[in-house]
Each structure stands twice: as structure tokens, then as C-alpha cells.
Structure 1
Amino acid sequence: MSQQDAHEIGQFYDNVTDPYVQAWDGNLHMGYWESATAAPSIDAATERLTSEVIGRLGVAPGGRVIDVGCGIGKPALRLAREHKVDVVGVSISEQQIEIARASVVSVPLPTQVSFQTADAMDLPFPASAFDAGLCLEALHHMPDRPKALREIARVVRPGGPVVIADFALRGPVPEEHRELVERFAQACNLVTLTEIGPYTAEFTAAGLDLTDVVDVSDNVRPSMAQHAEAIRSARDRLGPIVGVERLDQMVDLTERFGVLSQFGYVILVGTRA
């Protein structure tokens, strides 16, 4: 992304991270629900999605993993703790990195974990610096998602596993819903939102061998209503930062987009070619 775009997105998350983390029970990504009627806590649902993602990484103990778009570091810390790997997390938000670094200090870990500010489209690492790559719900912020995927592929060694989890569309959006989807994407900073097919094509074009496409849309869909309610409950804290009008728009659009059949969420699994 351009320096201006990177700065704007970083600034947005610098501003909203603290109140958003409180509202969303400590994580910065969607949750995974066994069914539409299941009622785990938000924390349990978001941790379940983390499990679905890092469980597919398959990196051996002692490996070195890059977590692109690491947020405040909870998935990276879990990955290090449960899989005994070293992790380097990167985010464009200095505020998120500050929180993540504080977490490393406060939690004893069996391996090395570090966090640094970096642009996913220009990663400050040499080629093949990592044994595996992870990106949980961050590439939708990239105006040039193929470039970000190429960067992830570049810094992972040949044969190393790569797992991407992100929003996608399950099918073409009918004319009557296009404005809704476009407005949702704009309000919620989904800079790049495409159907699953084009996403997988970008994945392979980046130099990654695709081994699995896991459509978890129905499991993630209940998060949209939960997410809207969390934002609504944090209106007093988030309103002065985001703007009350934009915040109310985000709530409305999130609820409406979440019930569309085209709403999607996908986990792409592969290896560096």
C-alpha cells in the first residue's frame, strides 16, 4: 500500500485498539461458532477461530513463524506456547505492537516471540527467513493484496506452510445488494474484498501451492451480529474516536451484510513453492 494508506490504516487502529479490544473481549478477529444457535462467549469463539487457523499450520517445534497482521499478539502467543515455535509478529499499528510487546513480558513462554511495526506489503526481512507464515484476518486491508501475498511467500522458505484466514464473498453479489456490500467494505476498512475463487488464484500466483480451501463462512457468520452488538455497546468510547455517525453506520452495515448469502470467510492452506 502507499505510505499514506499505510499511515491511515495504522492511525485508525492506533486510535481504536484499546476500546475495541475491551468491547470484543481481547481479540481483534472474528469468532468461530459450531452452529448459529451455539452460544459461547466472544472470547471462546475467537479463540476457536485461532485454533482452526494455527491448527492447520503444521510447523514443527523449533521452527520460526511470521504472523502478518498480528494485532495485539494473542494468536502469536498461543502459537508459540502450544506449538513450541519462535514467532515474529508484525502490524502496521504501533499501538497494537506496544500492547503485544507488553504481553510478551507478562507471559512466560517456551520460545522466542517478538513484535515489530511493519507494512505487510514491504516486509523488512530477507527471503526464506521463516519456516512458516500466518495471516489471520488482515489482508483485506491491502489495496494490493497480491503484493502482500508475494511478500509472505518471499519471506517463507520453500516448502514452508502458509495459512491465510480472511473475509471473502461466497458468490457474485446481486445488483440489489452491491451498494450494501460496497458501503460495508468502506465503513469497515475492507479495502480488498473478492470472491473465494479470485482469492485462491492470487494465492497460487504469489508462488504458493494451495493444498486446501476451508470455507468457514457459516461458522463465522454469527460473529457479525455479535460484532455489531459489541460496537454498539462501546458507542460511548468509540464514538468520539471513529465518529458517532460512522460508528452507527458500521453497526447497521455489519448486521445487514452478515445475513447475506454472499457473506464469506475462508481459510487458505498451502506451502511455499
Structure 2
Amino acid sequence: MSSNVSSPRSDADREYEEGNRYTVPHNILRSEVIYGEGFQSSGGLAAFRETVLPELPLSPGSRLLDIGSGLGGAAFHLVAEYPVEVVGVDTAELMVSISDSRRPAKDPEGRTSFVLGDVFSAALEPESFDAVYSQDTLLYSADKVKVLARCAELLRPGGTIVVNDFCRGGSTPEFEEYVENAGYHLVAVSGYPELLAQAGFTDVVAKDVSTHTNHLLRRDLDAYLARAEHDPAIGRADVEHLVERWHRKIGFMDAGALTQGLFRAAKPLSN
């Protein structure tokens, strides 16, 4: 099909799409076409392997918590490549259901599990994880210190937290409308270390990885458009939605309004 899709979409259309992004099966599964199997965030497996993964402690027997585990892509990759266990938690019931349905094929040794809920779920026991990681998830949290403090509670002393998150670099009326419609709560890359410190973490390392993320967004978009030209399963409406979404995100990154930060910190060995 043709990739020449530039039909304007109304604010109401965008708001509806965002509100149903993680509740409608079609909306979830179509995103895999651009993100890659198992992923719902920019760059898919490549982004995870190039940003979050190198920061994680992966000693044999380590237990990791994946916040916003989506369709389980990162969790399944970790247990396939490393002798670790991963618990994924996600607030989207359909995401957890799909992840569970894929476990027999993706994780035959049974070293993953998926919990419906958030980090405050009673199913998550304090001091039971060696590492907590999150990719493009905490941007939805208005009280990041509260969430990060709960992460510290879940970690064993000396444990590691790794967060890769979209951040704020500037402001325009159009960008603020975009942020509001998406339900984002963005902070500056430079502001994240203070949030981690307030939550009780030490040894905070912050990196601005916006250039890398922008590159991945463009690469994903080019690959998707090339596939859409020849794949009859990709409908025009899906292309219009995803292409417009990507162009807006890339535009905001080019303008410096939207940025990406990678953060690592440690829970102290003792209080």
C-alpha cells in the first residue's frame, strides 16, 4: 500500500486513540509491527539492549522487576540470554493476559511471571528484587518520588534501579497539548537525579540519550513504512495513526521539547 498518508487527525481522534491504546487488542498488536515483537516502546529490543540492559546486574539467580512490562519482550529476552528471573508488572489487563499466553513458547523454563497491577501490588514483596527497571513507563506517573520510593522498598540492600524515560526539554503550546492528551507527566533530565535521591537512592548516574532515541524513532518509522508498502495486513488507518504519532514525536525531539534520559541508582546497603 502507499505510504503517502498525511490525512489530518482531530484532537478528539488523538485523545480517543491514547485512551484506548492499551485496552483494545488491535491497538496493542499493531504497535508490535513498529516496535517489534513483545515491545510497546520506542526502539523495541534494540533500545532495551543498548540502554537499559548494560546497566543491569545479571548475576546468576538475580531476580528483576520489570515495571510496565507490556507484552513481555524485555523479560523474555533476559531469561533467554541470562540465568535470571523476571517479574513483570503492568496495569493493562490485556497486556498481562497476552504475556502469560506467550510464556510457554518464550520461557519454557518458567523464569518469568506477570502481575496485573502497579508497583504497589501486594503480590510484590519488599526486599525481594536485585534490580528494578523501567522503559518509557514512569512518564505516566504524576508522583514519581512515591513510585521510586516503592521501588527502593522492593529492592534488596545494594540493589539497582534503571529507568529509561521520556523527559521535558522545553515547552510550546502544541507540545503541552500533546503531553496532556498523552497523559504524560514529564520532568527534565536534570531533574530526575533529585527525584531518585528523594526516594532514598544513592550513586545516581544520569545520561541524556535523546540523540540515540531520535535515531531509533526514525529507524523504526522508515522500517514500518517500507513494510507497509508491501504488507496487506497493515491497514491504511493504522499507518495514518502511527505515522502521524511518530512524526509528532520526532518533531518535538528535533525542537528539543521532548528528550530522553537514562538513569541508574543504587539502594544503600544500610540506612
Under a length normalisation based on structure 2, what TM-score does the superposition of the two structures give? 0.78
Match of 1:47 among 45, 48, 53: 45
CA-to-aligned-CA distance 1:6-48 (integer Å, 9 cap, x gap)? xxx89641222122223433221112xxxxxxxxxxxxxx322
Match of 2:42 among 26, 30, 37: 30
More divergent stretch after superposition (50-59 vs 109-118): 109-118
Aligned to 1:17: 28
Aligned to 1:179: 173
CA-to-aligned-CA distance 1:123-180 (integer Å, 9 cap, x gap)? 64221121211111100111222211111111111111111111113x4x2xxx4212
**Aligned in 2, Cα 1:251/1:58: closer, same or farther, shift over 3 Å?**
closer
Q: Distance in 2 between matches of 1:224 and 1:121?
A: 31
Give 5+ residue unaligned stretches, structure 2: 1-17, 229-233
Give 5+ residue unaligned stretches, structure 1: 1-8, 32-45
Match of 1:215 among 203, 208, 216: 208
Q: Distance in 2 between matches of 1:10 and 1:91?
A: 16
Q: SS of the counterpart of 1:88?
A: strand
Instruction: Please state how far the C-alpha of 1:247 moved relative to its aligned partner.
Output: 7.0
2:64 and 2:86 in contact (8 A); partners too: yes
Aligned to 1:34: none
Q: Matched residues, percent identical? A: 21
Under a length normalisation based on structure 1, what TM-score does the superposition of the two structures give? 0.77
Instruction: Please state how far the C-alpha of 1:121 moved relative to its aligned partner.
Output: 5.0
**Aligned in 2, Cα 1:122/1:110: closer, same or farther, shift over 3 Å?**
closer
Number of equivalent positions: 241
One-letter amino acid of the structure 2 residue matched with residue 87 of structure 1: V
**Aligned in 2, Cα 1:79/1:143: closer, same or farther, shift over 3 Å?**
same
**Aligned in 2, Cα 1:254/1:226: closer, same or farther, shift over 3 Å?**
farther
Q: Distance in 2 between matches of 1:147 and 1:10?
A: 24
CA-to-aligned-CA distance 1:183-233 (integer Å, 9 cap, x gap)? 22123x2521111122221111111113421221111113344566759x6
2:115 and 2:123 in contact (8 A); partners too: no
**Structure number, greater radius of gyration:** 2
